[in-house]
């Protein structure tokens, strides 16, 4: 009796070995795709979007690359997902996590072909991951108490993160900027408070961190261009025609004179509002919404600087920086908190005029102005800087650091290898495989830099056999070296997240023995 | 086929457009149905047990789900065959009723169908097979009742509950930290349980997930978690001893339902309207303030002006809170949902010891914790995990664990897992078979065989020799007359499920057997399948 088909048309089912093969191949393909971007000498990718304009992105940020891929293979989607989460959670290591997961699966494939059950592999991987984490925990360095040392740690981490990006030429400059910006946040992880303004022109080296606050807006015509000791009212209110908000209200008149009267009343109302605002005793007014010509003129008459249409984040940041509250009603001028700053002036960056608030009261927010040759460079610089900022802000909270340059992987691999030797049963193969997958990361870094990876990794392994060794791969000089001396550091939190989520993802894909694909939903517009 | 002749020998057609329909009759129909049912069961078979594998499902929009929860797999499988749909229904009803054992019930039904096919080949009428199954299931359920054990727990000693939940969780991907998750599930259920009435309203347990962190960070919050932040960025992020006004009316000018027009034709009217509008906002905020609220939670949006007035009067507020969450907040804080400002009274305010905003990760994601509520009977389980699929799967696993804990509070009886209960039932049914005269005897024996298939699948998935292991356990049970021996899936070294602490709920197991038998009976009774061919 032939079995009727159970699924709907177009739905497909893959089982057992085939399913496993399909997911392994998909996941490894994705890992291989981003593999060449790993490390300080990693290459970039060009992404061309299929949307209108075919906009082009040049990047070597793993998460950005994977986000823009159209992937059909479900296992590959799992990898894309972990890279995205890594980006959201710690901001860096988005490539490493995918490469590690890919290597784990590659090793698992070999084990599966030699007839080891996936569940046994998972059990081995779990033990290995646990052991690897403990190995890292034993070797972490924590300089939280010593502020000066902590700052130098942060600098080193920022430089290590930046050296794999487009900013590597000026990494010291940018690392300094990033560390300063993050330390101003005083432990908060809200990176919104750091504003990044991109202005094409100049070179990357001309980028700077501004202690004050820069608003990408123009000052209204006829208003003062420079205000000292500014009192700022930050507002979110309609300054166009102030509508009557009561539902169903409409104006119905029967003669021209009445129209004029109503118009007059409307103007009066606006004037009232402006007067109320002026009663706060301010000399600068920043509004989130549009300011029409009429009120703007009134402000100009009163010698008040009015800035319209600052976006929501701009308003929020301005509130943070100047310490003013965001106001929407103006009836009680005495109780509204105004923002203060020493100086407001219009500055020129490249060809654009920007408004610069300096000498602000609370220094929680700051602005970074990026300069560069083209939009692509700026976009990539922003992504790189964002990675560095993320890592730093996480490190401020969890101040444990590790050495970089493949050092943590080697430390973990060594411990895991030892565990494999002690473990009885089939699991030990899986544990051994885990350590091989870990070693693949320094191998890839060396390969990408065009070095003899086999030679270097073997050297490194030998070095690591001695207790308390700090050896890692120095890609710049192309040799094994002491990482502590070269100042290559990484954040513990990033490494831990890479290790755990890569293991988790590999485990998830390994457990699958059947893939059921539903028929793609029919799009209406194809009809 | 469906052609008849009238008394003059002229053919007439019974089914409309019959040549466009495919039709299966008699034994062919039964065979086809059985084959379809078996095919579905076969898919799930490898997911059974602690060493079961997962399935990866790609939905119609390309979204990926990885799970080994039977109900979820079947629900998302995009099934077309009628009988296969019946199996999907079967698993769903087990999910609704019990919440756990959704894979087991389908595997069981598949095994019953397989055995039924064999009986049909022998020439036994399907109805007789169905009746035999019915009798056998009664025997099995009674036997389960006999071998079940009461076990004692109370609010302070919930260790047995945790053990049972761990059995459920051990077959999921979360088994890495099953201990802590089981504890969370049990504590959550105990927090909302009504021990007097022996009932648990699982709606009071909210499961929230957020990507990031690891599974170990999953926590139980005695309160409510709302995925919202304060309406104004400068409102305080932490409120102690909050009095909460729960509103379902917007902080906006009134919008009467009836159609109306306010005509403005003179300047005076324009002025008065403006004044009234201002007054209206003022009044709204004042009313909230007057009753002593220190936090406003609103289902709707705020006007900019109202928002600032709230901020100005030092009254933090949260907007756009969903209806379900609003209800939970009302239950937890002991407040009343107020539809109009006029009806606000101090008695209607909810109380919470602590309300705080917490931010996550590098992106600007904030959540609002409402804790130490007046009425602690609403809790939230907050799941963290490496990726979206992990969170979804953890949610499903926690749901299963919650259901198990609830079932135990309803009915304290347990049976032993790891296939022990099935083996015991199989022995009992086999022994009972001889007492029945007639053809049903064979069906009853077939039922006993089918019961064996569950432990067999367990052994197979765990990489053990299925036939060898099963027969060893079976003889052990028979020899010592103890129904605790099962399959040693985790390679612990003992077959005694009491020692391994592998429990399942009695009602769950009973329900599995009853539901599977019912569906199989239904499938066996079908002798004609008429389906429209492609249209």
pLDDT digits (tens, 9 = 90+) for B203-243: 888 888 887 667 778 888 888 888 888 877 777 788 888 88
Domain positions in chain B: 23-149+417-450+470-475+504-530, 224-249+281-375
- The answer to whether residues A247 and A328 touch, using CB atoms and an 8 Å cutoff, is no
Is A252 strand, coil or helix?
Answer: coil
CA separation (Å) from A74 to A27, A69, A106? 9, 13, 17
* Residue tagged 């099953």 (tokens): B178
- The answer to whether residues A489 and A156 touch, using CB atoms and an 8 Å cutoff, is yes
Q: How far is C-alpha A89 from the geometric centre of its chain's CA atoms?
A: 9
CA pair distance B34, B29, nearest whole angstrom: 9
CA pair distance B26, B29, nearest whole angstrom: 5
| Contacting B residues, span 280-299, partner chain A, CB-CB under 8 Å | 280-281
Please name the member of B78, B307, B390 whose beta carbon is closest to the beta carbon of A519.
B78
Confidence of residue B249 (pLDDT cuts 50, 70, 90): confident
How many CB atoms are closer than 10 A to CB B478?
A: 15
* Residue tagged 């992020």 (tokens): B237
Is A363 strand, coil or helix?
Answer: coil
Contacts of B25 in chain A (CB under 8 A): none
In sequence order, what are the residues at sequence separation of 6 or more whose Cβ sits closer than 8 angstroms to the Cβ of residue A295?
A239, A270, A273, A274, A306
* Contact at CB, B267 and A261, closer than 8 angstroms: yes
The pLDDT score that the predictor gives to residue A220 is 66
CA pair distance A322, B137, nearest whole angstrom: 76
- The answer to whether residues A461 and A412 touch, using CB atoms and an 8 Å cutoff, is no
**Residue B490, token pair as written in the block:** 């985790």
Q: What percentage of chain B's residues is helix, strand, coil (to nearest 5)? A: 50, 20, 30
User: In A41-193, at which residue ranges do the beta strands (DSSP E only) sit?
Assistant: 45-48, 56-59, 141-142
Higher per-residue confidence, A424 vs B274: A424
CA pair distance A435, A104, nearest whole angstrom: 9
Per-residue DSSP letters for A191-211?
A: GGGEEEEEEEBS-GGG-EEES
Please name the member of B59, B173, B274 whose beta carbon is closest to the beta carbon of A244.
B274
**Residue A491, token pair as written in the block:** 């954040």
- Cβ contacts below 8 Å, chain A against chain B, sum to 247
CA pair distance B484, B473, nearest whole angstrom: 10
| Interval A277-321: pLDDT, tens | 777 778 788 877 777 777 777 777 777 777 777 666 667 777 767
- The answer to whether residues B406 and B205 touch, using CB atoms and an 8 Å cutoff, is no
CA pair distance B189, A511, nearest whole angstrom: 30
Q: Is pLDDT at B362 greater than 60 in this prediction?
A: no
The pLDDT score that the predictor gives to residue B535 is 47
- Work out the angle between the directed axes of helices B466-480 and B420-433 (0-180°, nearest 10): 70
Q: Is pLDDT at B317 greater than 90 in this prediction?
A: no
Higher per-residue confidence, B37 vs B212: B37
Average pLDDT for chain A: 80
| Interval A456-511: pLDDT, tens | 888 888 888 887 788 888 887 888 888 888 888 888 888 888 898 888 888 888 88
Is A234 strand, coil or helix?
Answer: strand
On whether any CB of chain A is under 8 Å from the CB of B81, the answer is yes
Is A140 strand, coil or helix?
Answer: coil
pTM of the entire predicted model? 0.81
Q: Which helix (H) or strand (E) holds A22?
A: helix A16-35
Q: CA of A335: which chain B residue's CA is closest?
A: B312
CA pair distance B39, B175, nearest whole angstrom: 28
Contacts of A327 in chain B (CB under 8 A): 308, 312
CA pair distance B51, B458, nearest whole angstrom: 8
In sequence order, what are the residues at sequence separation of 6 or more whose Cβ sits closer than 8 angstroms to the Cβ of residue A52?
none
Cα-Cα end-to-end distance for chain B: 21
Q: Is pLDDT at B308 greater than 80 in this prediction?
A: no
The pLDDT score that the predictor gives to residue B363 is 56
In sequence order, what are the residues at sequence separation of 6 or more whose Cβ sits closer than 8 angstroms to the Cβ of residue A223?
A299, A300, A303, A304, A305, A306
- Beta-carbon-side half-sphere exposure of residue B529 (alpha carbons within 13 Å): 20
CA separation (Å) from B508 to B102, B423, B454, B523? 10, 16, 15, 23
The pLDDT score that the predictor gives to residue B109 is 92
* Contact at CB, B308 and A327, closer than 8 angstroms: yes
CA pair distance A39, A23, nearest whole angstrom: 26
On whether any CB of chain B is under 8 Å from the CB of A47, the answer is no
Q: Is pLDDT at A519 greater than 80 in this prediction?
A: no
On whether any CB of chain A is under 8 Å from the CB of B441, the answer is no
How many Å lie between the alpha carbon of A73 and the closest alpha carbon of chain B? 9
- The active-site residue out of A92, A170, A210, A387 is A387
Q: Which helix (H) or strand (E) holds B207?
A: strand B205-211
The pLDDT score that the predictor gives to residue A1 is 40
The pLDDT score that the predictor gives to residue B429 is 92
Higher per-residue confidence, A494 vs A323: A494
* Residue tagged 């002491």 (tokens): A482
The pLDDT score that the predictor gives to residue B521 is 92
Q: Is pLDDT at B375 greater than 80 in this prediction?
A: no
Contacts of B273 in chain A (CB under 8 A): 244, 246, 249
CA pair distance B417, B408, nearest whole angstrom: 15
**Residue B441, token pair as written in the block:** 């005897």
On whether any CB of chain B is under 8 Å from the CB of A187, the answer is no
Confidence of residue A527 (pLDDT cuts 50, 70, 90): very low
Give the residue among B115, B65, B71 at the shortest CA–CA distance from B451: B115
The CATH number of the structural domain formed by B224-249+281-375 is 3.50.7.10
Higher per-residue confidence, A352 vs B125: B125
The pLDDT score that the predictor gives to residue A486 is 83
Please name the member of B35, B59, B271 whose beta carbon is closest to the beta carbon of A518.
B59
Widest CA span of chain B, in angstroms?
102
| Contacting A residues, span 359-388, partner chain B, CB-CB under 8 Å | none
- The answer to whether residues B450 and B112 touch, using CB atoms and an 8 Å cutoff, is yes
The pLDDT score that the predictor gives to residue A526 is 46
When scoring A280, A511, A517 by the number of chain B Cβ atoms within 10 A, the one with the most, hence best to mutate, is A511
CA pair distance B58, B77, nearest whole angstrom: 9
Confidence of residue A189 (pLDDT cuts 50, 70, 90): low
Q: Residue A61 has what DSSP assignment?
A: -
Per-residue DSSP letters for B68-119?
A: --HHHHHHTS-B-SHHHHHHHHHHHHHHHHTSS-HHHHHHHHHHHHHHHHHH
Identical topology for domains B23-149+417-450+470-475+504-530 and B224-249+281-375: no
State mean pLDDT over B179-183. Answer: 88
Q: What are the beta bridge partners of residue B209? A: B383
* Contact at CB, A326 and B311, closer than 8 angstroms: yes
Q: Which helix (H) or strand (E) holds A45?
A: strand A45-48
Please name the member of B51, B60, B312 whose beta carbon is closest to the beta carbon of A519.
B60
Give the residue among B182, B492, B179, B206 at the shortest CA–CA distance from B369: B206
Torsion of CA B348, B354, B360, B363, to 10 degrees: 50
Contacts of A512 in chain B (CB under 8 A): 53-56, 66
Q: What are the beta bridge partners of residue B415? A: B504
| Interval B402-461: pLDDT, tens | 888 888 888 888 888 888 889 999 999 999 988 888 888 999 999 999 999 889 988 888
State mean pLDDT over A252-269. Answer: 78
3-state secondary structure string across A309-355: CCCHHHHHHHHHHHCCCEECCCCCHHHCCCEEEEEEEEEEECCEEEE
* Residue tagged 């830099």 (tokens): A449
Is B387 strand, coil or helix?
Answer: coil
CA pair distance A510, A109, nearest whole angstrom: 9
| Interval B260-283: pLDDT, tens | 777 777 777 777 877 787 787 788
Higher per-residue confidence, B24 vs B437: B437
CA pair distance B52, B70, nearest whole angstrom: 11
* Contact at CB, B84 and A325, closer than 8 angstroms: no
pLDDT above 70 covers what percent of chain B? 93
How many Å lie between the alpha carbon of A119 and the closest alpha carbon of chain B? 7
Q: Is pLDDT at B1 greater than 70 in this prediction?
A: no
* Contact at CB, B78 and A11, closer than 8 angstroms: yes
Q: What percentage of chain A's residues is helix, strand, coil (to nearest 5)? A: 50, 20, 30
On whether any CB of chain B is under 8 Å from the CB of A248, the answer is yes
State mean pLDDT over B94-120. Answer: 89
Give the residue among A473, A404, A413, A463 at the shortest CA–CA distance from A438: A413
Confidence of residue A104 (pLDDT cuts 50, 70, 90): very high
User: How many helices and strands, by DSSP H and E, does chain A display?
Assistant: 16, 20
- The answer to whether residues B486 and B422 touch, using CB atoms and an 8 Å cutoff, is no
> If you classify domain B23-149+417-450+470-475+504-530 with CATH, what class do you get?
mainly alpha
Q: Is pLDDT at A114 greater than 70 in this prediction?
A: yes
How many Å lie between the alpha carbon of A367 and the closest alpha carbon of chain B? 17
Confidence of residue A249 (pLDDT cuts 50, 70, 90): low
pLDDT above 90 covers what percent of chain A? 7
* Contact at CB, A262 and B263, closer than 8 angstroms: no
Confidence of residue A101 (pLDDT cuts 50, 70, 90): very high
CA pair distance B453, A106, nearest whole angstrom: 35
How many Å lie between the alpha carbon of B167 and the closest alpha carbon of chain A? 17
State mean pLDDT over B83-105. Answer: 86
CA pair distance B241, A237, nearest whole angstrom: 32
State mean pLDDT over A520-527. Answer: 60
* Residue tagged 């890919």 (tokens): A102
CA pair distance B513, B3, nearest whole angstrom: 41
The pLDDT score that the predictor gives to residue A128 is 93
CA pair distance A340, A322, nearest whole angstrom: 5
The pLDDT score that the predictor gives to residue B312 is 76
| Contacting B residues, span 82-101, partner chain A, CB-CB under 8 Å | 84
């Amino acid at each position: 009796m032939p079995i009727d088909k159970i699924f709907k048309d177009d739905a497909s089912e893959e089982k057992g070995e085939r399913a496993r093969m399909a997911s392994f191949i998909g996941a490894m393909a994705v890992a291989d795709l981003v593999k060449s971007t790993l490390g300080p000498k990693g290459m970039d990718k060009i992404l061309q979007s299929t949307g209108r304009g075919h906009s082009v992105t040049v990047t070597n940020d793993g998460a950005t690359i994977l986000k823009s891929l159209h992937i059909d293979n479900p296992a590959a989607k799992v990898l894309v997902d972990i890279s995205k989460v890594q980006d959201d959670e710690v901001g860096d290591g988005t490539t490493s996590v995918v490469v590690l997961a890919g290597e784990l699966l590659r090793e698992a494939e070999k084990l599966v072909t030699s007839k080891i059950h996936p569940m046994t592999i998972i059990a081995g991987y779990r033990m290995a991951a646990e052991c690897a984490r403990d190995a890292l925990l034993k070797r972490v360095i924590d300089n939280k108490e010593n502020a000066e040392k902590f700052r130098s740690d942060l600098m080193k981490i920022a430089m290590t993160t930046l050296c794999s990006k487009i900013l590597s030429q000026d990494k010291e400059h940018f690392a300094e900027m990033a560390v300063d910006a993050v330390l101003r946040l005083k432990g908060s992880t809200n990176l919104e408070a750091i504003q990044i303004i991109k202005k094409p022109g100049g070179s990357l080296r001309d980028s700077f961190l501004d202690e004050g606050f820069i608003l990408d807006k123009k000052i209204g015509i006829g208003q003062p261009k420079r205000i000292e000791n500014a009192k700022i009212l930050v507002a979110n209110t309609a300054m166009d025609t102030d509508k009557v908000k009561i539902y169903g209200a409409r104006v119905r008149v029967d003669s021209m004179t009445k129209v004029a009267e109503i118009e007059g009343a409307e103007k009066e109302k606006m004037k009232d509002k402006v007067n109320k605002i002026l009663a706060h005793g301010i000399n600068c007014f920043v509004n989130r919404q549009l300011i029409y010509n009429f009120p703007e003129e009134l402000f100009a008459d009163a010698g008040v600087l009015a800035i319209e249409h600052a976006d929501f984040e701009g308003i929020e940041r301005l509130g943070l920086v100047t310490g003013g509250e965001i106001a929407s009603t103006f009836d009680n001028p005495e109780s509204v908190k105004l923002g203060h700053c020493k100086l407001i002036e219009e500055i020129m960056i490249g060809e654009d005029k920007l408004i610069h608030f300096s000498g602000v009261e609370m220094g929680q927010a700051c602005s970074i102005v990026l300069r560069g040759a083209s939009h692509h460079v700026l976009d990539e610089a922003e992504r790189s800087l964002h990675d560095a900022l993320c890592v730093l802000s996480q490190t401020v909270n969890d101040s444990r650091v590790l050495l970089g340059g493949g050092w943590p992987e080697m430390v973990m691999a060594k411990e895991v290898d030892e565990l494999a030797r002690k473990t009885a049963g089939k699991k030990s193969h899986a544990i051994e495989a885990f350590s091989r997958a870990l070693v693949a990361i320094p191998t890839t870094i060396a390969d990408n830099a065009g070095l003899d990876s086999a030679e270097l990794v073997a050297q490194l392994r030998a070095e690591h056999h001695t207790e308390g060794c700090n050896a890692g791969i120095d890609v710049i000089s192309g040799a094994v070296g002491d990482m502590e001396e070269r100042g290559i550091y990484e954040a513990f939190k990033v490494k831990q997240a890479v290790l755990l989520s890569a293991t988790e993802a590999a485990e998830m894909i390994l457990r699958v023995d059947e893939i059921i694909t539903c028929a793609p939903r029919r799009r209406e517009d194809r009809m | 086929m469906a052609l008849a002749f009238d008394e003059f020998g002229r053919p007439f057609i019974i089914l409309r457009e019959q040549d466009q329909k495919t039709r299966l009759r008699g034994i062919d129909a039964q065979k086809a149905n059985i084959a379809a049912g078996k095919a579905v069961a076969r898919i799930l078979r490898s997911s059974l047990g602690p060493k079961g594998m997962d399935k990866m499902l790609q939905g119609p929009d390309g979204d990926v789900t990885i799970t080994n929860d039977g109900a979820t797999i079947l629900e998302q499988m995009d099934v077309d065959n009628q009988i296969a749909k019946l199996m999907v229904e079967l698993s769903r009803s087990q999910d609704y009723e019990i919440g756990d054992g959704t894979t087991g019930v389908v595997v069981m039904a598949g095994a019953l169908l397989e055995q039924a096919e064999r009986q049909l080949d022998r020439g036994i009428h399907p109805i007789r097979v169905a009746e035999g199954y019915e009798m056998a299931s009664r025997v099995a359920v009674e036997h389960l009742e006999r071998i079940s054990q009461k076990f004692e727990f109370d609010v302070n000693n919930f260790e047995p509950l945790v053990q049972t939940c761990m059995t459920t969780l051990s077959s999921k991907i979360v088994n890495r930290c099953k201990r802590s998750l089981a504890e969370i599930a049990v504590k959550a259920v105990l927090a909302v349980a009504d021990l007097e009435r022996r009932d648990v309203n699982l709606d009071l347990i909210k499961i929230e997930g957020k990507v990031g962190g690891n599974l170990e960070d999953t926590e139980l919050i005695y309160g409510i978690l709302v995925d919202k932040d304060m309406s104004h960025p400068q409102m305080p992020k932490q409120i102690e001893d909050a009095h909460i006004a729960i509103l379902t009316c917007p902080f906006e000018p009134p919008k009467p339902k009836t159609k109306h027009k306010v005509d403005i034709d003179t300047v005076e009217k324009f002025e008065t309207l403006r004044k009234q509008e201002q007054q209206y906002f003022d009044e709204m905020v004042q009313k909230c303030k007057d009753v002593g609220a220190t936090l406003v939670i609103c289902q709707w949006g705020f006007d900019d002006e109202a928002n600032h007035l709230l901020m100005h009067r030092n009254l933090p507020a949260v907007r756009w809170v969903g209806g379900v969450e609003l209800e939970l907040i009302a239950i937890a804080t002991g407040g009343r949902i107020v539809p109009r400002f006029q009806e606000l009274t101090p008695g209607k305010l909810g109380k919470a010891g602590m309300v705080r905003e917490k931010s996550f990760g590098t992106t600007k994601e904030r959540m609002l914790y409402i804790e130490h509520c007046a009425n602690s009977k609403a809790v939230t389980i907050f799941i963290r995990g490496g990726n979206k699929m992990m969170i979804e799967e953890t949610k499903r696993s926690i749901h299963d664990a919650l259901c198990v804990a609830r079932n135990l509070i309803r009915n304290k009886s347990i049976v032993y897992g790891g296939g022990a209960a099935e083996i015991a039932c199989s022995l009992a049914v086999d022994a009972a078979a001889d007492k029945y005269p007639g053809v049903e005897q064979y069906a009853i024996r077939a039922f006993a065989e089918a019961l064996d298939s569950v432990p067999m699948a367990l052994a197979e998935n765990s990489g053990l020799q299925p036939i060898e292991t099963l027969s060893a356990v079976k003889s052990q049970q028979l020899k010592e007359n103890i129904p605790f021996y099962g399959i040693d899936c985790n390679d612990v070294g003992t077959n005694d499920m009491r020692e391994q602490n592998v429990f399942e709920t009695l009602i769950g197991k009973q329900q599995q057997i009853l539901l599977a038998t019912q569906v199989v009976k239904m499938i066996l009774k079908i002798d004609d399948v008429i389906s429209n061919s492609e249209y």
